[in-house]
Amino acid sequence: MHDDRKLVEARLRRVLDERIRPAVYPESVPLRVAVWHAPGEPVPVAEGLAAEPAPIEVGARWGAPWGTSWFRVTGTVPRAWAGRTVEALLDLGFDENMPGFQCEGLVYRPDGTPVKGLNPRNQWVRIGAPVEGGEEVRLHIEAASNPVILDYHPFRPTLLGDKDTAGHEPQYTLTRMDLAVFDESVWQLVLDLEVLGELMAELPVDSARRWDIVRAVDRALDLVDLQDVGGTADRARAQLTGVLAAPAVPSAHRISAVGHAHIDSAWLWPLRETVRKVARTTSNMTALVEDEPEFVFAMSQAQQWAWVKEHRPEVWARVKKAVAEGRFVPAGGMWVESDTNMPGSEAMARQFVHGKRFFLDEFGIENEEAWLPDTFGFAAGLPQIIRAAGSKWLLTQKISWSQTNSFPHHTFRWEGIDGTRIFTHFPPVDTYNCSMKGSEIAHAARNFKDKGRARHSLAPSGWGDGGGGTTREMVARAARLRDLEGSATVVWETPRAFFEKAEADYPEPPVWVGELYLELHRATLTSQAKTKQGNRRSEHLLHEAELWAATAAVRTGFPYPHEELDRIWKTVLLHQFHDILPGSSIAWVHREARATYERIAAELTGIIEAAQRALAGEGETPLAFNAAPHPRAGVPAGGAATPRTEGATTLTARPDGAHVLDNGLLRIEIDARGLVVSAHDLRADRETIAPGAAANLLQLHPDFPNMWDAWDVDEFYRNTVTDLTDADAVTAGEDGASVRIVRSFGASRVTQVLTLPPGERRLVLDTEVDWHETEKFLKLAFPLDLHAERYASETQFGHFHRPTHTNTSWEAAKFEACNHRFVHLAEPGWGVAVVNDSTYGHDVTRTVRTDGDRGTTTTVRVSLLRAPRFPDPETDQGVHRFRHALVPGARIADAVREGWRINLPERSTTGAGEVAPLVTVDNEAVVVTAVKLADDGSGDVVVRFHEAHGGRTRATLTAGFAVGDVTVTDLLERPGGDGEPPVRDGERITVRLRPFELMTLRLRRA
């Protein structure tokens, strides 16, 4: 037989495009349209419906950037259409290639009832099926003219990312406003042909199945009358019945489809617009659930559910009904789909506490899966947190974006720093916006790396980010793929159903140990420094507020601010969303974030000061409140006392312009350039700085990545570097313990104060940068005279080791990584820590010693600032302040302690006398991260702590109050938890912990 395959395939494409798809709507009449443009921010629905609109014609421009326009469409169904299905086609000016990144609309009935969202791939509203003819149609559309930020020429700087700079030029052209007849037979024929045509293209050319489809499609097209598609659609479909009914082979890959609409809680739009995106999508998905009996939709991020409840009660009622039917599924159990690299220990725990509690309180549903398809890598401490929250599964997608190495598994157990393992799945479909195309389904089956051992994968299916979620076309495709020869099988299922099947199918999957590092988006650890500083400061202020309020409540009856703390935690957690905290959102988002963090700081400071006043009482005794988990200067951890000062620091100015600081523990030499050329540990008689090198070295790199400006830094940035060694001034500080350095470069200026506190083995570096560079990367370097093959960086509830070498491509790819409060490097018996109060990004490299080709030194570089121009063209312009400390001779215990110390400075006041801690611990390896009152209002004291040094340990916690009962709990403060149970002796509670083990105790007050 002659090979006519390409001829048939080309015929199919043209006939579909030019004849069959247009025949889905064979007849149409225009609607009358009028519009009212809201003058400012979005208005309540009732105001939008009541506004008097002005006529507008199709083809007219509308919509200033970030504006809201209320369209009223009216018309009459022709009587000739009686008995037929009629839909309104409402095209606001959509580009079908950009679902979720442009204008959107929500359709209302005249009484204010929401109908469904309007999106580029979902422009229809059902009027009747069938209609009687003569019906009056009246619909209202709340249309958001969100500007296109990420367009066909991505990453170009734009002022559209903030309403203050976006201007008023209309963004869209009203394209179609019609009533139309919907021919379901033609629509079904389109789906038959699309599914078969896409499947055909994925099958081997020499397979019999492919040729069966070719012949069936050819016969079907022969039966389509191109002048009467509607009249001949059913007979054409009949020719396809056989090939659509052929069942899948028993070994076919099995896909669990989950309806999905990944909605970034802020990104290329502000938070207020996400509230409306969620309302549009949930309106769509509740409608689809009602229309499609097999469809299941899952939505994560409790914050987004809370927005629907608060802002759209009429949609919330439909959501609750669908949840009760098991068709609209709360997923993930987190407050938002947060970044997981940068949030601190307690913040990461509270993501699950507040997320899971919301779904339990509202629906009685316990989430056992963490759902994070788009997060930029996963910290090694996360498995324990997931387990401690009562969950056991993790789904993500983003690791498939890695630039260098292909992750070796799709289903595996992920082991965290404490040994906890979590059953984890990466969908091989490689998208969290699957549209059920044949190419996507075939890719999932081919790509699945666990073939031969497992056969289940998951496909999150639907347009995200305001694209409207799953469409009726996707559901129709899935129905045809349920059991189809040549394809993977597809069935709609909940995340829980998938994980139960997958885990049963693969009881002994491979194990991956340590962080899940994304080899992309590394610059998110640095971009938008003030957002990151706001997060870090808010986390520590919340730690203080809970500690002092709980202590004051127990000791003095101080009213514990449950509601205020709950609200503030949720605000901080929202801003840890994976496009806010990472610095990858538009200017509007970060401008609002800065203002929000300032309000939070003021409110939490008020709580802290009120609680401390209650604790201190009246008096003139100098007191320092120490909220850190370690004693310092005679002040106990979690208590207050008069601090003591030991020793003194001397400052010597040399004729050559150098300065020497000496406190009997360290001798620091700062040369005339303001660089630290010596940091001598006097007790160990050990030099810290690498030979011939200098610390406190600011280095400037060009920074123009190939893509994703705010997200990425590409390795070639290192090829060019400028050492900022010229100083405008290097002068002695008036306190006798510091040196002040001023530098200028480009359009920017740096002022530093280097301080050696008396009696302490740490050099404190306060850096102020007035930053006015663009597309530059600023680093702060510490070359250390250490031979280290690995180093430790703090992560949630512990620390994680990374190699300093680049033996493999996996190691080389980690050229920028995350730490929390410290990094630590050591040789046996001696080490160095670099601690910080607000930075996360860093790199660590090895260099051959300059005093001979024997041995190596190790350089730690802190990432301070970047200056990308997309999506915020003014990223980080202005004044920034950072604090770091170099700690020579540091053990890991010292690194942990100094990391807490630099983030929780003492608060000084006066009072009647010392304040004893509410809880004390007798072992420095056990770090208390939270002391608070129980969330249920019972008055119980909740204490959370972990082993912080990486070894097994025993510790005794002593309560400073009468204890009636002790319970080990999960993160939600419910009885539970594993590990060795504590032993109680009165107010003394002895625990044994494995390395990095996390434990929560609930202490009932007697």
Report the 10 Å Cβ neighbour count for 718: 15
Q: What is the largest CA-CA distance in the chain?
A: 103
Helices 345-363 and 529-556 cross at an angle (nearest 10°) of 70
Element at 561 (helix H, strand E): none
Please, are residues 93 and 146 in contact by the beta-carbon 8 Å criterion? no
Q: Which residues are CB-contacts of 375 (< 8 A; sequence separation ≥ 6)?
A: 337, 338, 339, 340, 396, 398, 578
Q: Could you tell me which of 34, 35, 54, 51 has the C-alpha nearest to residue 43?
A: 51
Report the 10 Å Cβ neighbour count for 14: 11
Q: For residue 50, what are its two tokens?
A: 């009541």
Q: For residue 139, what are its two tokens?
A: 């619909």
- DSSP 8-state assignment for residue 589: H
Element at 350 (helix H, strand E): helix 345-363
Element at 871 (helix H, strand E): none
Please, are residues 492 and 257 in contact by the beta-carbon 8 Å criterion? yes
In terms of residues, how long is the chain? 1006
- Contacts within 8 Å (CB) and 24+ apart, 729-734: 730/657, 730/659, 730/670, 730/672, 730/673, 730/674, 732/651, 732/653, 732/659, 733/651
In angstroms, what CA-CA distances link 750 with 216, 774, 843? 73, 16, 21
- Gyration radius from the chain CA atoms: 31
CA-to-CA distance for 226 and 467, rounded, in angstroms? Answer: 33
- DSSP 8-state assignment for residue 422: E
Please, are residues 309 and 321 in contact by the beta-carbon 8 Å criterion? no
Phi, psi of 70 (to 5 degrees): -105, 110
Element at 446 (helix H, strand E): helix 438-447
Pairing assessment for the beta strands 328-330 and 297-299 based on DSSP bridges: parallel
Annotated active-site residue in 95, 151, 218, 374:
374
Judge whether 374 counts as a catalytic residue.
Answer: yes
Q: Could you tell me which of 412, 400, 497 has the C-alpha nearest to residue 440?
A: 400
Exposure string of 654-685, with b = 16+ CB inside 10 Å and e = fewer, is eeeebbbbbbebbbbbbbebbbbbbbbbeeee
Report the 10 Å Cβ neighbour count for 646: 11
Find tokens 């309106």 and name the residue: 283
Please, are residues 759 and 645 in contact by the beta-carbon 8 Å criterion? yes
Q: Which residues are CB-contacts of 310 (< 8 A; sequence separation ≥ 6)?
A: none
Q: Could you tell me which of 864, 838, 818 has the C-alpha nearest to residue 340?
A: 818
Which residues carry out catalysis? 374
